[in-house]
Structure 1
Amino acid sequence: MTTGAPDRFAAARWVTVERHDAGRWSVTVLDEADDEIASFGMGVEGEWEPDVVDHVAFALTRLGLRTVGARPWREDELGLTRAAVLPA
């Protein structure tokens, strides 16, 4: 884990994932007020489940975060795929 990452992401409460086109995804980490903490792109070929979900989970683990719940992902009112997160 990167030094300082736990402090940077301590306020994280949500993560959203948006598909841009084949193999391009953006991941945004948000606080309780939906203010952006960080955003990054991912290049992942394949279907949301299982391909992209596993890559997003790995990236969140590297940031010191984990999704909450047995089925954490849902579509929000903006059409983004969203999950609640907490520090790992």
Structure 2
Amino acid sequence: MMLIPCPFCGKRNESEFIFGGPVVAARPDPNAVSDAEWVEYLTIAPNPLGPVQEKWWHARGCGEWLTIWRDTRTHDIVEAPNGSE
């Protein structure tokens, strides 16, 4: 079980949240990149080891979106949102 620190509700069980995915670069303009770059953007999902910035929605709580840094090797929250632990 992972405890996610919500700046409004405090530390809460991960079951209250919905994973929104990693924070990624802005979507490229499909008309400004090559076909190969566009296909890579659409099909290759990053899967890094170590700290990753992620979005989580507190669906069963305050309803806010949070951005946290989580270590993918240990699931430890390495940086919490402002206002939380």
Give the structure-2-normalised TM-score.
0.29
Please identify which structure carries the higher helix content.
Answer: 1
Give the structure-1-normalised TM-score.
0.28
**Structure whose alpha-carbon radius of gyration is higher:** 2
Please identify which structure carries the higher strand content.
Answer: 1
